Amino acid sequence: MKLGNIIGLNPELRQYAEGDLIKGIDLLGLEFEYEGVRDARLPNTYPLDLFSTHDDDSLKNYGKEFVFTEPLFGADVENAVRALCGVARERNWLASRRAGIHVHVDVRDLTREQVIGFILLYSLVEPALYRWVGEQRDKSIYCTPLYEADGATELVAGLLRQCQGGSGDSIMRCASNIPRYGGMNPNALSKFGSIEFRQLKSTSDSERVLLWVRLLLKLKHAVRDRFPLSNHAIIEIAERAGPDEFLRIIFDDLYEHVVYPQWANAYKTLALPVAETLIAEGLQELTWASWEVPAGVSARLAMFDAKHGRRELRYDLNLRPAQPPAQRPLRDLLPVEIEENDY
């Protein structure tokens, strides 16, 4: 036995490395809620020592919440999730309709523009994410989608307005005024520098939890790593791609998990109106102003190019093989690269 185990100070066993599934070093905070937790004690050994245990007034029947003690990434996330889900199965903890799994995605490493893009991207794929989660979570009062929540879109638009040009204090104050029971909870920005996603119903299926985390990270990676460094490009990709291709561009190898037959209609009737409201109420720049699908050359894009003297250079996302003949090549859907500060 190690000395640390003997004296009650466990040796450092964290991996601090990418996982097999959770790539990169994006920090995450996870909260697991269960009911029927008559024995909430966890071994004080890795990786279960990465959790703290709390009472939760929203739960009943011996409800408990298990929370990462600090933000984790990669292999440590995978190990912690699998270990706790294993305990939940062994002890028959209950995943009731009140219990959820909440994922905090760190956004402190994003620019103002990328945070705006992250929230806009989420709004555009929100119905697809709720469809994947299932179990009528879009009707739950604990994780209301933007397309169902009266007044929430306007509050989030106010946050985008502050992200675009407000001070740090105004961003924090605006975030703190947003109710925290939305499926996407920007209120967490004021406390942890994260955006919380509350949609997933509690489960002891660790692989389902890890897939959900990967889907959420796809949104962050799209605006941080894969799209051109201007959110004007996000607008152009959405305009040119159409619902199905846009979903594929964002989720890449996980696309098949989120696409479904009614997606195009949900995009048009649920997602797009929310995004239009966020833009109209929250953003002032012309580059955010139009969602019309361009026929041929986009006049707005041409004016933008002329104003800023943008060089003609395609941005290659390297997403997938050539399209079947009936579909447009992905290259034709992507915007020309623009400079980061081209607002």
pLDDT digits (tens, 9 = 90+) for 135-184: 999 999 999 999 998 889 999 999 999 998 889 999 999 999 999 899 99
- Between residues 48 and 342, which one has the greater pLDDT? 48
Tell me how far apart the alpha carbons of residues 217 and 35 are, in angstroms, rounded to a whole number. Answer: 28
User: What local confidence, expressed as pLDDT, does residue 89 receive?
Assistant: 97
**φ, ψ (nearest 5 deg) of residue 195:** -115, 130
Q: 57-72: per-residue pLDDT in tens?
A: 889 999 999 999 999 9
Cβ–Cβ < 8 Å for 185, 196: yes
Tell me how far apart the alpha carbons of residues 50 and 10 are, in angstroms, rounded to a whole number. Answer: 12
Instruction: Reduce the DSSP state of residue 135 to 3 states and report it.
Output: coil
Q: Taking residues 177-201, what's their average pLDDT?
A: 95
Strand partners, 100: 201
- Nearest one of 269, 223, 200 to 121, comparing CA atoms: 223
At 215, the pLDDT band (50, 70, 90 cuts) reads: very high
Cβ–Cβ < 8 Å for 236, 290: no
Residue with tokens 């690269």: 337
Residue 236 confidence (pLDDT) above 80: no
User: What local confidence, expressed as pLDDT, does residue 57 receive?
Assistant: 86
User: What local confidence, expressed as pLDDT, does residue 122 receive?
Assistant: 96
First to last CA, the chain: 60
Count Cβ neighbours within 10 Å for each residue of 293-319 and write b for 16 or more, e otherwise: eeeeebebbeebbeeeebeeeebebeb
User: What local confidence, expressed as pLDDT, does residue 60 receive?
Assistant: 93
Structure tokens that stand for 192 in this block: 């942890």
From the CA atom positions of the chain, what is the Rg in Å? Answer: 21
Q: 100-126: per-residue pLDDT in tens?
A: 999 999 999 998 888 998 999 999 999
- The half-sphere exposure of 207 on its side-chain side, counting CA atoms within 13 A, is 1
**Lowest model confidence (mean pLDDT) among 171-180, 212-221, 262-271, 332-341:** 332-341
Residue 129 confidence (pLDDT) above 60: yes
- Between residues 303 and 323, which one has the greater pLDDT? 303
Q: Sheet holding 64-68: strands in order across?
A: 51-55, 64-68, 28-34, 100-106, 194-201, 184-185
Residue 330 confidence (pLDDT) above 50: no
